[in-house]
Chains A and B, each alone.
Chain A
Amino acid sequence: MELVTAKTNISRGVLGEAEIIKNKSLLNKWIDEAGTHLTETGNFAKGVQKKAEENFAAIGLPTKRTEDFKYTNIRSYLQDDYAAKNGSASLTESEIENVLIDDFVSVVLINGKYIPEYSRLKNLPKEVTIKSLFKALEEGNEVAIKQFNSGLEKTTNPMAMLNTALAGDGIFISIPENFSCPIPVHIANICTGEAKNFYNPRHLVYLHKNSELTLIESYHSVNHTGKTFTNSATEFIIEDTASLENYILQDEDILSQRNDVRHFTVNTGSRMNSVAISLNGGMLRNDPTIFINGENAEVHLNGLFIVKENCHTDNHTMVEHRAPNCMSNELYKGIIGDNATGVFNGKILVYRDAQKTNAYQSNKNILMGDKSTINTKPQLEIYADDVRCTHGTTTGKLNEEALFYMRSRGLNEKLAKNILLQSFAKEVSNTIKNEAFRTLIEQKIEENIQ
């Protein structure tokens, strides 16, 4: 099928020879610094990594002139002197305890690396595979080898290329055919480390036909002593009629800088719901891309971002409707205070063949601080005629009349504001189906609104 190139993706022209050499040398420096490599897992991985290196060298790190990174200048966070590291560190029992959630299967990742000693898998059904991605590749796990990099192979995102080139060990989850995982899997990501550490963990989640999984991810910082940069990438492949619930809580400290690439491949009749709650973190960029490849698929993408102090949160989403009769629904809400900056850049791309598409996108923002900023860019790129696509975005402050109403009934200003903000946030948190986690999220939101 012919499709006019999505021109906004080709953000920069071809680089000169000198710049390519510069990119290569920076990449080589990072490759040398990182201890373990993807290439060690087998011949297959060598080819993948080599290709990614070339691709990255040809475009380099995104600049402010890169259209997709227009509002997040990666260069101001990730400098050349950052040192590529691999995950793992030792933490105390109580530090781990703090981030785990009872009743769930808990998988602990430190800077993206899977630490079995800290994890609690005793309630995990034996059908479900959870292991180190590198180990799975080394062992010749067919699913892992077949699916690894299948989503990001043709990516135009330089950060995704960089992740593949520098890939560190991450987690591999596979759910077998016709199996519905009865217990949510909770991945606790702990970020720790010294100044200028640079991590590139890589994960893979595979849902076989007609399977179901609730995957909860939470991000925390422990013993963080300086600004670190994490450039993680996760591929999700959802086979026919499978269903994924993916909830994310981002609650790191101000020293944490994270670029989170996610690639979802959604096949015929499958369903996914992703809810990202971003509460804290110095710099945070969520970059989910969803390829709807099969008919009758259903995609929900929700996000709430609360940004404070001098922090920066960017939500860059891409929904590609490549098959007919699918629906996607996107809702992102932001509360931006102090000197913080919030970004929403959502794009819906409907291919010529994707007739009868229903696509919705909504972004609502509240600016709380005198010096807070919001940049929003909701985009539609549509090549099929029999579609219904809408997007809407609003930005404003809290409704004065609503505040007045509550104050006239005896609520003080702080409380009145709180109620309004909480109800604003609820629209997103309500899309979390797991009750235990939703309650936790609501608590967290309440704490962060104060």
Chain B
Amino acid sequence: MSGSNEILEEFVQGEYKYGFTSDIESDTLPPGLNEDVVRFISTKKGEPEFMLEYRLKAFRHWLTMKEPHWAHLHYPLINYQNISYYSAPKKPKEIKSLDEVDPELLRTFEKLGISLLEQKRLSGVAVDAVIDSVSVKTTFKESLSKLGIIFCSFSEAVKEHPELIKKYMGSVVPYTDNYFAALNAAVFSDGSFCYIPKGVRCPMELSTYFRINSAGTGQFERTLIIADEGAYVSYLEGCTAPMRDENQLHAAVVEIVSHADAEVKYSTVQNWYPGDKDGKGGIYNFVTKRGICLGNNAKISWTQVETGSAITWKYPSVILKGDNSVGEFYSIAVTNHMQQADTGTKMTHLGRNTKSTIVSKGIAAGKSNNSYRGLVKVNRGASNARNFSQCDSLLMGNNCGAHTFPYIEINDNSAQVEHEATTSKIGEDQIFYCNQRGIDTEKAIGLIVNGYCREVLNKLPMEFAVEAQKLLAVSLEGSVG
């Protein structure tokens, strides 16, 4: 199989395609973290008193915590005093139309293929573009507000909807939750806020593009999505980051609240800079994502395509509190070169007749390590809980690792829980079969990988599915298809 080896080789050599830096003047705080920095961020953003108190409480709690090291990840210690905690593009005045947006910024979006203009005109996707932590432009806000939908930057929500922020912020991921969540709560820069009122079905896919831009700036977004009774929303998050030499820390928090009969679908395509092929540079991605199905018949669905970041530490979870609630997790994680991913989900069954589905597809190449780590917990009294988990891993090449660490804790005898996992490589017979029919090895591998991931790709919204497929193709270009 020398042919496929060459192709693997090429994949392993393949360089990051989205490595460019856009020159936008930033208003950056010097590195370091103390209470003054927290106060500075809060003042800078003109936040009300309660927000500052929350940040300080979180910061003081963070000081008492230790960085977790249980994950199957190896990285040098992070010096939290070496990171700048605030960076905002200089924006002296409010922007009312796209013409006022920095043309350099617009070009950045164009390079990413998500020109706001085009998005606005053609696709009907409202984009809340976050560049280095501050929302620059929110589109379609007006048409959404007619339906009573609030979709804005987090800092705007803090000022304009403090009652919602007070009620829901930290209700799913409290600042005491874990080290990175505490850090985020203390220094979060900005993020998105979304509220769908009772019985409203959001007519379009809501989308945010995050970009990490300034060198050495940690980005700490916070996203809060609330779907009130009977509401529905599909939310997209997509990421690409420019090439950097030093490691950048990213610790985001995403909270989702789904009330009775509501449904939230959250899709992510993550393609941050993974570092070069020797493992130099790349983003450290420590994310806490959690949703709660608060009411009966609520539903939360996570779909993720993870191809970037040097380190991924991410476990989108669902707490199934309401009776008959449903949690889903579909994931594709691709690691190459020296990338390390430890990702999975947590499904906590509390209500009756709750259901959860986990489908995780890992692909490891180069010298990377790809781990699935998940927890399915059925509490006593969560009768007739049902879970199905499937975790498959594909190994490409002889220097990578694929691991599965599922935790299953069941305290109710009416639960029905299934878990299965397989690890294998692409069968030579499969490639041979394709070759025989005139499909060259590269395309054959592409075909097989695509088929392998299909189950998850199908769960992505239309616009995203195309992009994700492209992304897979790019990540695995000249390689695995």
A contact residues vs B (CB 8 Å cutoff) = 4, 7-8, 13, 67, 352, 355, 365, 367-397
Which residues of chain B are near A373, meaning CB under 8 Å? Answer: 409-411
Q: Contact partner of A367 among B398, B401, B413, B418, CB < 8 A? A: B413
Q: Closest residue of chain A to B342, judged by CB?
A: A7
Q: A389-B422, A395-B417 are in contact. Are A8 and B72 (CB under 8 A)?
A: yes
Which residues of chain B are near A381, meaning CB under 8 Å? Answer: 72, 401, 403-404
Q: A378-B419, A380-B423, A385-B395 are in contact. Are A8 and B405 (CB under 8 A)?
A: yes
Q: A8-B72, A380-B403, A384-B398 are in contact. Are A395 and B410 (CB under 8 A)?
A: yes
Docked pose: A393 CA to B414 CA in angstroms: 16
Q: Verify if B397 is at the interface (C-beta below 8 Å from A).
A: yes
Q: Is the CB of A391 within 8 A of B409?
A: no
Docked pose: A255 CA to B420 CA in angstroms: 36
Number of cross-chain contacts by CB at 8 Å: 123
Q: Verify if B436 is at the interface (C-beta below 8 Å from A).
A: no
Q: Verify if B138 is at the interface (C-beta below 8 Å from A).
A: no
Docked pose: A397 CA to B385 CA in angstroms: 12
Q: Verify if B396 is at the interface (C-beta below 8 Å from A).
A: yes
Docked pose: A390 CA to B406 CA in angstroms: 13
Q: A367-B413, A373-B411, A393-B408 are in contact. Are A378 and B425 (CB under 8 A)?
A: no
Q: Contact partner of A396 among B380, B417, B420, CB < 8 A? A: B417
Report B396-453 residues with CB < 8 Å from chain A CB: 396-425
B371 to chain A, nearest CB (A): 8
Q: Is the CB of A385 within 8 A of B417?
A: no
Q: Is the CB of B398 within 8 A of A385?
A: yes
Docked pose: A369 CA to B74 CA in angstroms: 42
Q: Contact partner of B423 among A371, A389, A392, CB < 8 A? A: A389
Q: Verify if B75 is at the interface (C-beta below 8 Å from A).
A: no
Q: Verify if B369 is at the interface (C-beta below 8 Å from A).
A: yes
Which residues of chain B are near A388, meaning CB under 8 Å? Answer: 422-424
Docked pose: A123 CA to B417 CA in angstroms: 49
Q: A370-B413, A381-B401, A381-B403 are in contact. Are A392 and B408 (CB under 8 A)?
A: no
Q: Verify if B219 is at the interface (C-beta below 8 Å from A).
A: no
Q: A375-B409, A380-B403 are in contact. List 14 more A-B contacts (CB 8 A).
A: A4-B74, A376-B407, A377-B405, A379-B404, A380-B393, A380-B421, A385-B400, A386-B425, A387-B395, A391-B420, A395-B415, A395-B416, A396-B416, A397-B414
Q: A352-B398, A391-B420 are in contact. Are A377 and B415 (CB under 8 A)?
A: no
Which residues of chain B are near A390, meaning CB under 8 Å? Answer: 420-423
Docked pose: A296 CA to B411 CA in angstroms: 41
Which residues of chain B are near A397, meaning CB under 8 Å? Answer: 413-414, 416
Q: Is the CB of A392 within 8 A of B405?
A: no
A345 to chain B, nearest CB (A): 9
29 A-B residue pairs with Cβ-Cβ distance under 8 Å, sorted by A, are: A7-B70, A8-B405, A67-B70, A352-B398, A367-B413, A367-B415, A370-B413, A371-B411, A374-B408, A376-B407, A378-B404, A378-B419, A378-B421, A380-B393, A381-B404, A383-B400, A385-B395, A385-B396, A385-B398, A386-B398, A387-B395, A389-B424, A390-B421, A392-B419, A395-B410, A395-B418, A396-B415, A396-B416, A397-B413
B68 to chain A, nearest CB (A): 11
Q: Is the CB of A391 within 8 A of B421?
A: yes
A68 to chain B, nearest CB (A): 12
Q: Mark B366-394, 1 if CB is under 8 A from A, else 0.
A: 00010000000000100000000000010
A160 to chain B, nearest CB (A): 22
Q: Closest residue of chain A to B375, judged by CB?
A: A377
Q: A368-B413, A395-B415 are in contact. Are A377 and B420 (CB under 8 A)?
A: no
Q: Closest residue of chain A to B403, judged by CB?
A: A381
Docked pose: A375 CA to B411 CA in angstroms: 8
B74 to chain A, nearest CB (A): 7
Docked pose: A370 CA to B410 CA in angstroms: 11
Which residues of chain B are near A380, meaning CB under 8 Å? Answer: 393, 402-404, 421, 423
Which residues of chain A are near B405, meaning CB under 8 Å? Answer: 8, 377, 379
Q: Is the CB of B421 within 8 A of A394?
A: no
A127 to chain B, nearest CB (A): 43
Which residues of chain B are near A8, meaning CB under 8 Å? Answer: 72, 405
A343 to chain B, nearest CB (A): 10
Docked pose: A386 CA to B397 CA in angstroms: 9
Q: Is the CB of B393 within 8 A of A375?
A: no
Which residues of chain B are near A374, meaning CB under 8 Å? Answer: 408-410
Q: Is the CB of B403 within 8 A of A375?
A: no
Docked pose: A393 CA to B419 CA in angstroms: 5
Q: Contact partner of A375 among B396, B410, B413, CB < 8 A? A: B410
Which residues of chain A are near B393, meaning CB under 8 Å? Answer: 380, 382
Docked pose: A381 CA to B421 CA in angstroms: 12
Q: Is the CB of A392 within 8 A of B421?
A: yes
Docked pose: A380 CA to B393 CA in angstroms: 10
Q: A7-B72, A384-B398 are in contact. Are A377 and B423 (CB under 8 A)?
A: no
B341 to chain A, nearest CB (A): 14
Q: Is the CB of B419 within 8 A of A379?
A: no
Q: Is the CB of A395 within 8 A of B411?
A: no
Q: Contact partner of B401 among A4, A368, A393, CB < 8 A? A: A4
Docked pose: A355 CA to B395 CA in angstroms: 12
Q: Is the CB of B403 within 8 A of A382?
A: yes
Which residues of chain A are near B416, meaning CB under 8 Å? Answer: 394-397
Interface centre among B74, B409, B425 (most CB of A within 10 A): B409
Docked pose: A377 CA to B419 CA in angstroms: 10
Which residues of chain B are near A379, meaning CB under 8 Å? Answer: 403-406
B353 to chain A, nearest CB (A): 15
Q: Contact partner of A385 among B69, B71, B425, CB < 8 A? A: B425
Q: Closest residue of chain A to B72, judged by CB?
A: A7
Q: Closest residue of chain A to B398, judged by CB?
A: A385
Q: Closest residue of chain B to A392, judged by CB?
A: B420
Q: Closest residue of chain B to A10, judged by CB?
A: B69
Which residues of chain B are near A7, meaning CB under 8 Å? Answer: 70-72, 74
Which residues of chain A are near B417, meaning CB under 8 Å? Answer: 393-396
Q: Is the CB of A377 within 8 A of B408?
A: yes
A338 to chain B, nearest CB (A): 11
Q: Is the CB of A371 within 8 A of B380?
A: yes
Which residues of chain A are near B418, meaning CB under 8 Å? Answer: 392-395
Q: Closest residue of chain A to B395, judged by CB?
A: A385
Which residues of chain A are near B425, meaning CB under 8 Å? Answer: 385-387
Which residues of chain A are near B422, meaning CB under 8 Å? Answer: 388-390
B159 to chain A, nearest CB (A): 42
Q: Mark B276-320, 1 if CB is under 8 A from A, else 0.
A: 000000000000000000000000000000000000000000000
Q: A67-B70, A370-B413 are in contact. Are A395 and B408 (CB under 8 A)?
A: yes
Q: Contact partner of B407 among A371, A377, A392, CB < 8 A? A: A377
Q: Is the CB of A369 within 8 A of B413?
A: yes
Q: Closest residue of chain B to A374, judged by CB?
A: B410
Docked pose: A40 CA to B363 CA in angstroms: 55
Interface centre among A13, A67, A370 (most CB of B within 10 A): A370
Docked pose: A369 CA to B71 CA in angstroms: 34
Which residues of chain B are near A382, meaning CB under 8 Å? Answer: 393, 395, 401-403, 423
Q: Contact partner of A391 among B397, B401, B404, B414, CB < 8 A? A: B404
Which residues of chain B are near A365, meaning CB under 8 Å? Answer: 410
Docked pose: A396 CA to B408 CA in angstroms: 12
Which residues of chain A are near B423, meaning CB under 8 Å? Answer: 380, 382, 387-390
Q: Mark B51-74, 1 if CB is under 8 A from A, else 0.
A: 000000000000000000111101
Docked pose: A385 CA to B401 CA in angstroms: 8
Which residues of chain A are near B399, meaning CB under 8 Å? Answer: 352
Docked pose: A395 CA to B415 CA in angstroms: 7
Docked pose: A122 CA to B324 CA in angstroms: 66
Q: Is the CB of B413 within 8 A of A372?
A: yes
Docked pose: A66 CA to B419 CA in angstroms: 24
A110 to chain B, nearest CB (A): 38
Which residues of chain B are near A368, meaning CB under 8 Å? Answer: 413
Docked pose: A384 CA to B395 CA in angstroms: 8
A35 to chain B, nearest CB (A): 41
